[in-house]
Amino acid sequence: MNARQNVALQPYNTFGIVAKAHTLVQIATEADVQQVLADATLARQPKFVLGGGSNIVLTGDVKPLVLKVEIMGRRRVEETPRAWIVEAGAGENWHGLVDWTLAQGYPGLENLALIPGTVGAAPVQNIGAYGVELQDRFASLDAIDLETGKSFTLDAAQCAFGYRDSVFKHVASDARHFGLAGRALITRVRFHLPKPWKPVLGYLDLEKKIAETGVHTPSARQIFDWICAIRSAKLPDPRVIGNAGSFFKNPTVTPDQCADIIARDPRVVHYPMPDGSVKLAAGWLIDACGWRGKSVGNAGVYEKQALVLVNRGGATGGEVVTLAKAIQTSVYERFGIRLEPEPVVV
CB-closest chain residue to ligand EPU: 245
Long-range contacts of 161-167 (CB under 8 A, 24+ apart): 161/123, 161/126, 161/133, 161/134, 161/135, 162/126, 163/126, 163/128, 163/133, 163/249, 163/250, 163/252, 164/125, 164/126, 164/127, 164/128, 164/249, 164/342, 165/125, 165/126, 166/123, 166/124, 166/125, 166/126
Binding segment for ligand EPU (CB under 6 A), chosen from 26-34, 100-108, 187-195, 281-289, is 281-289
Catalytic residue among 92, 140, 164, 183: 164
Binding segment for ligand EPU (CB under 6 A), chosen from 39-47, 142-150, 165-173, 244-252, is 244-252
Interface with ligand EPU in residues 118-177 (CB under 6 A): 129-130
Known catalytic residue at 342:
yes
What is the sign, positive or negative, of the torsion defined by CA atoms of 36, 38, 39, 43? positive
In the complex, what is the shortest distance from the CB of residue 30 to ligand EPU, in angstroms, rounded to a whole number? 29
CB nearer ligand EPU, residue 13 or residue 246: 246
Binding segment for ligand EPU (CB under 6 A), chosen from 65-73, 215-223, 283-291, 309-317, is 283-291
> Is 249 a residue that touches ligand EPU (CB under 6 A)?
yes
Determine the 3-state secondary structure of 339 from DSSP.
Answer: coil
Q: Which of 95, 91, 174, 101 has the alpha carbon at shortest distance from 127?
A: 95
CB nearer ligand EPU, residue 99 or residue 342: 342
| Position among 20, 22, 270, 292 found at the interface with ligand EPU (CB under 6 A) | 292
Q: How far apart (Å, rounded) are the C-alpha atoms in residues 119 and 136?
A: 15
> Is 250 a residue that touches ligand EPU (CB under 6 A)?
yes
> Is 307 a residue that touches ligand EPU (CB under 6 A)?
yes
Known catalytic residue at 164:
yes
| Position among 283, 300, 317, 341 found at the interface with ligand EPU (CB under 6 A) | 283
Bridge partner residues of 271 (DSSP): 279
State the virtual CA torsion across 282, 285, 289, 290 in degrees, nearest 10. 70
Known catalytic residue at 246:
yes
Q: How many residues bind ligand EPU (CB under 6 A)?
A: 17
Return the number of other C-beta atoms located less than 10 Å from residue 95's C-beta.
Answer: 18
> Is 269 a residue that touches ligand EPU (CB under 6 A)?
yes
Q: For strands 20-27 and 56-57, give the pairing.
A: unpaired
> Is 332 a residue that touches ligand EPU (CB under 6 A)?
no
Amino acid, single-letter form, for residue 52: G
Return the number of other C-beta atoms located less than 10 Å from residue 304's C-beta.
Answer: 11
> Is 287 a residue that touches ligand EPU (CB under 6 A)?
yes
State the virtual CA torsion across 12, 18, 23, 29 in degrees, nearest 10. 0
| Position among 101, 126, 246, 316 found at the interface with ligand EPU (CB under 6 A) | 246
Catalytic residue among 54, 140, 166, 246: 246
CB nearer ligand EPU, residue 218 or residue 245: 245
CB nearer ligand EPU, residue 26 or residue 277: 277
Bridge partner residues of 5 (DSSP): 23
> Is 252 a residue that touches ligand EPU (CB under 6 A)?
no
CB nearer ligand EPU, residue 39 or residue 287: 287
> Is 253 a residue that touches ligand EPU (CB under 6 A)?
no
Q: How far apart (Å, rounded) are the C-alpha atoms in residues 135 and 80?
A: 20
Bridge partner residues of 344 (DSSP): 56
56 with 244: CB under 8 angstroms?
A: yes
| Position among 43, 201, 222, 284 found at the interface with ligand EPU (CB under 6 A) | 284
19 with 61: CB under 8 angstroms?
A: yes
CB nearer ligand EPU, residue 36 or residue 296: 296
**Catalytic residue numbers?**
164, 246, 342
Contacting residues toward ligand EPU, per CB under 6 A: 129-130, 235, 245-246, 249-250, 269, 281, 283-284, 287, 292, 305-307, 342
